[in-house]
Amino acid sequence: MLGKLDWSAIPFDQPIPLVAGAMVLVAILGVLTWVVVKGHLPYLWHEWITSVDHKRIGVMYVLLASVMLLRGGSDAIMMRVQQAIAYQSQGYLPPEHYNQIFSAHGTIMIFFVAMPFVIGLMNLVVPLQLGVRDVAFPTLNSVGFWLTATGALLVNVSLVVGEFSRTGWLAFPPLSGLTYSPGVGVDYYAWSLQISGIGTLVAGINLVTTVLKLRTRGMNYLRMPMFCWTTLASNLLIVAAFPILTATLAMLLLDRYLGFHFFTNEAGGNVMMFMNLIWAWGHPEVYILVLPAFGIFSEVVSTFSGKALFGYRSMVLATMAICVISFMVWLHHFFTMGAGPDVNAIFGIASMIIAVPTGVKIYNWLFTMYGGRIRFATPMLWAVGFMVTFIIGGLTGVLVAVPPADFLLHNSMFLVAHFHNVIIGGVLFGAFAGFEYWFPKAFGFRLDERWGKLAFWFTFTGFYITFMPLYIAGMLGMTRRLQHYDVAAWRPWMFVAAIGMAVLSIGVICQVMQLVVSIRNREALRDRTGDPWDGRSLEWATSSPPPVFNFAFHPDVRGEDAYWDLKTHAKQQLLGHHPEPEYQDIEMPKNSPTGFVCAFFATIMGFALIWHIWWMVILGGLGAFATFVVFAWRDHDEYVIPAAEVARIDGVNLEERRSLVSMAGSI
């Protein structure tokens, strides 16, 4: 009746996951009770859960990423503590548990922190920057978000029901095959990634179509803000790469569930095929994550330097070059696995070539700052911190791209330090910069600068104290994923790394404090004009938070830095004549529970597949199909905002804006 599921699935003998699970459960129940008792449930349901507004969905993506960042961060703390004390001893984590923790850490940080964070920011900002009212497929957008949440939920369920994968974040066979991983861990891993992968693909298709087909009048390709370009590149990569992940995990699941022989050692299966397939997705994936971050830095650097982006066209070219070359370097992840010197050389050279467009970008940012009036607000701090950190990570990356060097450094702590150097220094710093930069746009008030700067400095120094020692430990021969070790020379570095982790954690606490303090002082921090940073692109041309329709009129774009042009133009006219614009009715897509209901059934189906509860699988599948049919059957999918209402909403913002322009004009 319940497949493989019985009471033995709950780890009563392991206090750590049980207590952690219980705490999470209490927290969730607490929040739910508060929501219900306070009567917020209808508001949440109508305004958020069923919302198809790209801004709301973007906010929910970022919220999901932030919560999962805490989960993945807890895993990181546990690992650093384990390695600090597990010298000539077993430490406090048993090996099976430790293996689950590093697997969960990697899986969560990439798929459920970095991905939703950047997709959330793209969702929030891109339609605003393009000057349009919504993304191409609003309801599908909601489906995509909720399927991502389903994946995150399943990973967390594995904490208390059953176990998580012990095979690292990419589940290499034959270790992840049925023979060596008979439990449900790999199944949790694979199904949660399959389900959230569909969500990511949907988001990718949606954003590609949005950028290519939905741009306001005059928004030619070479007038798009840099963030839109990197969004386009990143989502093209999603569309081209995520199907590879889907196919690869499907093959692994077929091996596990139906006794197929894709990656087995018997009957002619080929393990190296898994390596090639998974990295053919895996390498583009890192550029899927970092390209949007490059876009964020471009926006931030040019805004806070008070200058147009230096070398805009070379930046576009560099972005698209990375987009293409990222598909030609995957083999550098396994130089040591017997491809031979010729093949290794080609992929080594390709890997070094991809550093060229990245270097172009770095110089463009530096030259944008050169001669600019730089304001060191929190987003700018993250951007400068990124440039320093990312260059170090990039250099160690070029180092491991040299095959002979890689033979020494492969699978060592040096590699661990390298990819944290680029992912934290690139993606996470970018996500934080974007968070600080666009928060006022999303919520209508700025974030507290003092706490923001504290958060930056603690995170920045914490990062260096944590990860520089790992480079050294790697040079001293320490391999990754060690549960315990007997080499005395490594120990001091593990201690330093653990201290660094504590500093990093203070940074995270500061970030939480910043949010709390800012929400408390939100009246003082209110952004009335919609343009708190003296911005250059169209998202700043509407109020904060923007009305549901974003713009009362589709803006007419005449050049790069569209909003900067508008402002300059307005200043020249000074307070001239402002004829009352003729507002028109606006049609917007109706909210729909399709995404939530669909994800509900997907959760049931995923859980049932993991535990082999076949009747429940069929039930979940039928439910999801029925949801789509019901959605297809509805007669009215849009509602009309009357012109008078548009005029009222727009009027308030116009007043504030005029006072801003008149002030600026008088200076």
Binding test (CB under 8 A) with other proteins, winner from 460, 560, 646, 657: 560
Neighbour tally for 449: CB within 10 Å = 16
Rounded to whole angstroms, how far apart are CA atoms 155 and 136?
30
484 binds other proteins (CB under 8 A): no
Q: Give the x/- contact pattern for other proteins in 142-181, rule: CB under 8 A.
A: ----------------------------------------
Residue of 547, 634, 544 whose CA lies nearest to 588: 547
251 binds other proteins (CB under 8 A): yes
Token pair of 381 as six digits: 């701090």
Token pair of 55 as six digits: 């801004």
Listed in sequence order, the residues at least 6 apart from 451 whose beta carbon sits closer than 8 Å to its beta carbon are: 510, 511, 513, 514, 517, 518
Q: How many residues sit close enough to other proteins to count as binding (CB under 8 A)? A: 64
The secondary structure element, H or E, covering residue 277 is: helix 271-305
In sequence order, the β-bridge partners of residue 588 are 639
3-class DSSP state for residue 478? coil
Binding test (CB under 8 A) with other proteins, winner from 45, 48, 260, 600: 260
Helices (H), 138-225: 138-157, 185-213
Q: Considering only residues 343-382, where is the footprint of other proteins by CB under 8 A?
A: 371
Q: Give the x/- contact pattern for other proteins in 271-310, rule: CB under 8 A.
A: --x---x-----------------------------xxxx
- Residue 360 contacts residue 314 (beta carbons within 8 Å): yes
- Min dist CB 381 to other proteins, Å, is 23
205 binds other proteins (CB under 8 A): yes
- Min dist CB 57 to other proteins, Å, is 17
610 binds other proteins (CB under 8 A): no
Rounded to whole angstroms, how far apart are CA atoms 547 and 210?
19
Binding test (CB under 8 A) with other proteins, winner from 216, 231, 542, 544: 216
CB closer to other proteins out of 478 and 624: 624
- Min dist CB 378 to other proteins, Å, is 25
Residue 161 DSSP symbol:
S
Which residue stretch of 21-29, 177-185, 235-243, 421-429 sits at the interface with other proteins (rule: CB under 8 A)?
235-243
Q: Considering only residues 625-664, where is the footprint of other proteins by CB under 8 A?
A: 629, 632-633, 635, 637
Residue of 170, 430, 209, 418 whose CA lies nearest to 300: 430
463 binds other proteins (CB under 8 A): no
SS3 for 526-548, per residue?
A: ECCCCCCCCCCCHHHHCCCCCCC
Rounded to whole angstroms, how far apart are CA atoms 297 and 229?
13
Which residue stretch of 116-124, 200-208, 594-602, 616-624 sits at the interface with other proteins (rule: CB under 8 A)?
200-208
Which residue stretch of 27-35, 214-222, 333-341, 538-546 sits at the interface with other proteins (rule: CB under 8 A)?
214-222
502 binds other proteins (CB under 8 A): no
Sign of CA dihedral 571, 572, 575, 581: negative
Provide the binding-site residues for other proteins, judged by CB under 8 A.
Answer: 132, 136-137, 201, 204-206, 208-209, 212-222, 239-244, 246-248, 251, 254, 258-262, 264, 266-270, 273, 277, 307-313, 371, 554, 557-561, 565, 629, 632-633, 635, 637
